[in-house]
Structure 1
Amino acid sequence: MRILISNDDGYFAPGIEALAQAMSEVGEVTVVAPERDRSGASNSLTLDRPLSLRRAGNGFYHVNGTPSDCVHLAVTGMLDELPDMVVSGINHGANMGDDTIYSGTVAAATEGYLLGVPAMAISLVSHSADDFRAAARVAQELAERFKRRPFNAPVLLNVNVPEGGYEQLRGMRVTRLGRRHKAEPVIRTLSPRKETVYWIGPAGAAQDAGEGTDFHAIDAGYVSITPLQIDLTHNGQLGAVSEWLA
């Protein structure tokens, strides 16, 4: 089994190292990740300049581009054979609800999915903990399950793992994405040169966190697994827009 690994925290991040080690127990691993932290890059591709691919001392490849660049470059130009799975992570922080729209971690997995490769994004729901062992073990178990029982069509899974030890996990739940309140206002401050600058405010609290959502599963101590799709068509408004144009 050939596994392509990427992330948005950069090739040097401890999360991707833990993930690569766990995935090496399942199959042949290739790591292609951004050369620096590209959190929040979403699904952007670099089209205004060429990309460079370099190999670090630990064998990981890094690209001077976005997470989507990394997977696109690997699948369409670098690898001799199509990978059997793309795994992105382990992200240091949650990717739930509306966060998935902005997440570079999810974007790397999405790029694999768009190129016809089953993919999953793995995130550790913590901003302070740096122990990725439980999340890595969950990723390994899911990859092993896929190896035994592959899906009939490409699938895109968004996986979030609560912080804490593996033994503390209560199990896995298939969930839908919750929703957040709107983000906090931007933070205005002065630069050292006395110029006004703005920091994007933190994400809002969960608004839709009821049973069945990723937020609810994580709060209850379960791993959240959400299958994603890319169709953005608002089918419920097709008729209303048609009438509006008539």
Structure 2
Amino acid sequence: MNLLISNDDGIFALGVRTLANTLAAAGHHVTVVCPDRERSATGHGLTLHDPIRAKLVESGFHPTIQAWACSGTPSDCVKLALGALLDAPPDMVLSGINHGSNLGTDVLYSGTVSAAMEGVIEGIPSIAFSLTSFTHQDFQPAADFARSLLAQLETRSLPHLALLNVNIPAVAADEIAGVVMTRQGVRRYFDTFEKRVDPRGKIYYWLAGEVLEEVSQEELEQAGMSGLKASGGDIEWFRNTPTDVEMIRKNYITITPLQYNLTCALGLESLQKWQQGYKKWAE
């Protein structure tokens, strides 16, 4: 397969090198376009008011890989690759392997997920890979799973306009409990800003906080079933599908399909009831 790989940890991150080199060694044609520095938590930001530069990187990757360091965001990297650096669209866009999890509502901030989503926006099947630890350094089990998943996808197709958000537990390969399809959970943070003073006596703030993963089942259902109810989906099936947050705790690899259409169908259904009132107001 022809693969485009990006990330948000930067071109020198161990995760992207392990992923790219593993897939190149498996016979895939790999092109890497990554930020030239750390770009975590940039979401789907784009560079509009500055030039974007790209430079070839000549070391650290498998000899068959062409790798570029890009001055832009993760989404910029994929846009630039598809619009200027590649001669033809890839078969798939991959992002990662991220150093840290992208579970639940993390995906709204994630540069890793946004890079993959940029591929989906362009109509290309895409997958985001994350290792659920900021300190663990062994990315090989995650890369090996990516290789296995791609082998399966060579004979199967992804859902239209959906990306797969894959999180791999940070444990040894023989400790991984299995692979499970999940729905997106809720991961809320208690965010606080630490007030500090720099050496010149000026005040600045540093974002800090702790993650809160224990949320009620009712809240999970409210967060996840807004579209399901309005579309006539199987609510019981949805309730019985575990969340990514839950299954990572049990050392499962989680695969969650995501989409860029954020329309709240249940909210739209409710708002349409207001429409008659607005018509009367307009008259």
Give the TM bin, normalised by the shorter chain: over 0.9
Equivalenced residue count is 246
* Identity between Structure 1 and Structure 2 (%): 40
Contact 2:183 2:242 in 1 (8 A): yes
What are the equivalent positions in structure 2 for 1:224-235 lying under 5 Å apart? 224-235=254-265
Name the counterpart of 2:248: 218
Kept in 2: contact 1:68–1:111 (CA 8 A): yes
1:208 Cα offset (Å): 3.6
* Match among 190, 197, 206 for residue 197 of structure 2: 190
For the Cα contact (< 8 Å) 1:105–1:121, is it kept in 2? yes
5+ long unaligned stretches in structure 2: 60-65, 218-240, 278-283
Match status 1:44 vs 2:45: yes
Unaligned 5+ residue runs, structure 1? none
2:16 matches 1:16: yes
Query: Aligned equivalents of 1:212 and 1:72: distance in 2?
Result: 33
**Matched residue SS, 1:47:** coil
| 1:232–1:203 CA distance, 2 compared to 1 (3 A) | farther
C-alpha contact 1:179 1:209 (8 A) present in aligned 2:
no
Tell me which residue corresponds to 1:138.
Answer: 145
- Aligned-partner Cα distance in 1 for 2:258–2:158: 14
- Three-state SS of the structure 2 residue aligned to 1:20 is helix
CA distance in 2, matches of 1:68, 1:207: 31
Q: Which ranges of 4 or more aligned residues in structure 1 deviate by more than 6 Å? A: none
The structure with the greater share of residues assigned to helix is 2
TM-score (norm 2): 0.83
RMSD: 1.7
TM superposition score normalised by structure 1: 0.94
C-alpha distance in 1 between matches for 2:216 and 2:3: 33
**Partner deviation per Cα, 1:90-111 (whole Å, 9 max, x = no partner):** 1010000111100000010000
**Aligned partners of 2:103 and 2:187 also within 8 Å:** no
Shift of 1:192: 1.9
> Does residue 1:202 correspond to 2:209, yes or no?
yes
Contact 1:26-1:140 within 8 A present in 2 as well: no
Whether 1:120 aligns to 2:121 is no
User: Which has more radius of gyration?
Assistant: 2
Q: Do 2:34 and 2:74's aligned partners in 1 also have CA atoms closer than 8 Å?
A: yes
